Amino acid sequence: SSYRGTDASLVLQHARSMSSVSVPPPKCLQKTFVAPRRHMFGPGPSNVPPRILAAGAEPVIGHMHPEMLEIMSDIKSGIQYAFQTENNMTIAVSGTGHTAMECAIFNAVEPGEGVLTAVNGIWGERAAEMAERIGAKVNSIVTTAGGYFTSEEIDQALAKHKPVLFFLTHGESSTGVVHPLDGIGDICHKHNCLFLVDCVASMGGAPLYMDKQGIDILYSGSQKVLNAPPGTAPISFSERACQKVFNRKTKPVSFFLDMTWLANYWGCDGKPARIYHHTAPVSAFYALRESLAILAEQVTLVWFLNHDAIHTLLDRNARLPTVTTIVAPPGYDWKEITSYIMKNHNLEISGGLGPSVGQVLRVGLMGGNSSKASVDMVLEALRDALRYCHKSKV
Amino acid sequence: SSYRGTDASLVLQHARSMSSVSVPPPKCLQKTFVAPRRHMFGPGPSNVPPRILAAGAEPVIGHMHPEMLEIMSDIKSGIQYAFQTENNMTIAVSGTGHTAMECAIFNAVEPGEGVLTAVNGIWGERAAEMAERIGAKVNSIVTTAGGYFTSEEIDQALAKHKPVLFFLTHGESSTGVVHPLDGIGDICHKHNCLFLVDCVASMGGAPLYMDKQGIDILYSGSQKVLNAPPGTAPISFSERACQKVFNRKTKPVSFFLDMTWLANYWGCDGKPARIYHHTAPVSAFYALRESLAILAEQVTLVWFLNHDAIHTLLDRNARLPTVTTIVAPPGYDWKEITSYIMKNHNLEISGGLGPSVGQVLRVGLMGGNSSKASVDMVLEALRDALRYCHKSKV
């Protein structure tokens, strides 16, 4: 036993310590945890395939071991492929999609600068709130939930407000909109403005070309089409974005998300030595790498096409292929429907979010979940729910 | 196959999309990743036992499914036990120790308020930098690396600077110091100041009693004594801290780390409904819960005593039990020693960090790694290295 050799004085000293222990070990932790097996057909997280779970369960090594730096380099390449970008400044943030959203705004904007956000659901509102918190002057263009913006509307708003950053959500998972991107980058650049795009819910499931579409900052999440556990977030900065990010007058409010530090940690700053910044989520990076490896095994045509073909089976309006919004069946309580399906079919679909609460059901079929078998399962569950749930409850 | 039913126009439309693909799938992702098996005896991450890795590989469920809320409740209880606190406002941050550090400072401090940090290694410097970035007036008391502060020094500095927050590192992993805590909480409160303590490197390995020691905000990390993968960070706020945190005039700079939102997400605000805030790192929470369950299986006496007994075998100066600093052997290049040991013994020990670079070797024996067998392994590796590495290289 490891207690041999402990001398008596030490035991006494700790016996004294022991008398200070007043909070007992909690009984709830005595239960063995086994996660339920579920069809994750909500807007995310999606089902994580065994191959990615297994990668995440490989033994933990050091956050700066050579093998880890190689994994980070692989992740960088994988994100460049997924984003269709050659940007050197491409990394994964050690956090969720929200962390990446803050990383983008914290680094690109200084206090007092103008930010314009396009609001057609919850994400534009959250970006506005984040920018306000760091002292930016925030304006928003707003359209009805489910709507999107024309290039003319964006052009006019940029001319009026002259922001340094324009935020747009590519895949509005709260309303099921995939926003057109072509041409908007050019409009932003005409107004000397950076183009920031949230592709958390769309990346890998809808056509997206960071470089060709002139996107300056693009971020996503791991738990949607990539089918990795939540907790890591791809992000990339164009040359134009880097010019602004690395020539600030003030430091970003967050040390943890400061791209000057992160660029070094990810080997993107050309300096020979990596300086310790933070301890990366090693296991989550293993899983993210594996999810990108799976994406890279498919030709791009397939991942887009597959999502669109599947989506078309549910919704013919050519909207967001990854998360399909279905008008909530009139006369039913949507919560009863989703609960019924969870209980009887072991399957998650979700209600609305933000402006779409009560209006829609949301079905996410992302990555490996994007198959005709999944669609059939969802439709059968819905049919069953409509039969057994109470009508005229609302 | 899932492509049946795809109509021709869709195929054409995507064939056009396909012509936009210019970044090919990266070859580096074709390699299967297998993590090397290593003895992780540096200052962290520590070895993650199979039981925790397996918990982290359970299937991912939704971040707001009832089972997930139960896991979060279990985690809360586990942290209360580990911290020896009855604080209701006890959660895990969805990020690393640095994220928790920012969470503490962002929520407790408003722009223009005073912060005092105790600097006896790298962590006090980082806390100062974080507080400066959000516009706090920061003062520091500084002592030599390896030193610590007397209650009188702290009392005088608090009287002089009148900060709203005093930051102290319990386990200074860069210098191997475990800072005395008794009495400092009372001194802080006498000066109407909150007492913030970093216990990332010490929690579970050195006696620590949040409530009895009058600590107002305490945070740790998952990858040290808890032996979980890095990426989650326990944090707790006293009633006194909550009074300040929830009565701010300004919003914290980070939406992601805003305790008003996090308190709701963790069910700590007494409100019946949980509002979607962010997608928690589900798998990392599984692993954290399991690591806390393992901690709770041991009586407190054992986890402290074990670390101290093991530590005593290496270092008789009664310093930080989890991370032992060893004076770098004179005449040797420390990098050659750590590289030799990594290469020939498959074992990580580390050099210094910050002020201790070049001065020390750091050996971390945390959680399951805290055994006499590990000590023997380290000593044998060191003996071997001193025999084969080149003397007089520096």
pLDDT over 90, % of chain B: 79
User: What's the mean per-residue pLDDT of chain B?
Assistant: 91
Residue type, A133: R
Give me the mean pLDDT over the B211-221 stretch.
98
pLDDT at B324 over 70: yes
Q: Residue B316: its pLDDT value, please?
A: 47
Contacts of A167 (CB under 8 A, 6+ apart): A105, A115, A116, A117, A118, A124, A127, A128, A131, A196, A197, A198
Residue of A2, A17, A84 with shortest CB distance to B304:
A17
Q: Mind listing the pLDDT tens digit for each residue in B123-177?
A: 999 999 999 999 999 999 999 888 899 999 999 999 999 999 999 999 998 888 8
User: What ipTM was assigned to the predicted interfaces of this complex?
Assistant: 0.93
Q: Residue A300: its pLDDT value, please?
A: 61
C-alpha separations of A248 from A114, A135, A252 in Å: 15, 15, 8
Run of H or E including A158: helix A151-161
Q: Residue A262: its pLDDT value, please?
A: 98
Spatial separation of the C-alpha atoms in residues B362 and B350, rounded to whole Å? 5
How far is C-alpha B22 from the chain's CA centre? Answer: 41
Please report, in range form, the residues annotated as the binding site of B.
362
- The CA distance from A95 to the nearest CA of chain B, in Å, is 6
Q: Mind listing the pLDDT tens digit for each residue in B24-39?
A: 999 999 999 999 999 9
Run of H or E including A124: helix A122-133
Q: Which sequence spans correspond to the domains of chain A? A: 40-44+303-388, 50-296
Q: Structure tokens of A365?
A: 């079929």
Q: Residue B311: its pLDDT value, please?
A: 74
**Three-state SS at B135:** coil
pTM: 0.93
Q: Mind listing the pLDDT tens digit for each residue in A115-146?
A: 999 999 999 999 999 999 999 999 999 998 88
Give me the mean pLDDT over the B306-330 stretch.
78
User: Nearest-CA residue of chain B relative to A76?
Assistant: B26
Residue of B71, B98, B353 with shortest CB distance to A256:
B98
Domain with residues A40-44+303-388, CATH architecture: Alpha-Beta Complex (3.90)
Please report, in range form, the residues annotated as the binding site of B for substrate.
362
pLDDT class of B107 with cuts at 50, 70, 90: very high
Write the burial class of residue B353 (CB in 10 Å: 0-12 exposed, 13-18 middle, 19+ buried): buried
Q: How many CB atoms lie within 10 A of CB A2?
A: 19
Domain with residues B50-296, CATH architecture: 3-Layer(aba) Sandwich (3.40)
Q: How many CB pairs below 8 Å do chains A and B form together?
A: 385
User: Nearest-CA residue of chain A relative to B28?
Assistant: A74
Chain A interface mutation, best of B16, B28, B285, B307, highest count of A Cβ atoms under 10 Å: B28
Run of H or E including A91: strand A89-93
- Phi, psi torsion values for B43, nearest 5 degrees: -80, 10
Q: Structure tokens of A348?
A: 């998650």
- The CA distance from A323 to the nearest CA of chain B, in Å, is 15
User: Nearest-CA residue of chain B relative to A58?
Assistant: B35
Contacts of A286 in chain B (CB under 8 A): 33, 35
Write the burial class of residue A276 (CB in 10 Å: 0-12 exposed, 13-18 middle, 19+ buried): middle
Helices (H), chain B: 8-18, 50-56, 66-83, 97-108, 122-133, 151-161, 184-190, 239-245, 259-265, 282-297, 300-314, 334-345, 372-388
Spatial separation of the C-alpha atoms in residues B219 and B90, rounded to whole Å? 10
Q: Residue B63: its pLDDT value, please?
A: 94
pLDDT class of B19 with cuts at 50, 70, 90: low
User: Nearest-CA residue of chain B relative to A353?
Assistant: B276
Residue type, B390: H
Q: Residue B7: its pLDDT value, please?
A: 46
Ranges of residues in chain A with a pLDDT under 50 are: 1-8, 10-11, 316, 318
Q: Structure tokens of A182?
A: 């072509």
Helices (H) and strands (E) in chain A, counts: 13, 14
Do A282 and A60 touch, CB atoms closer than 8 A?
Answer: yes
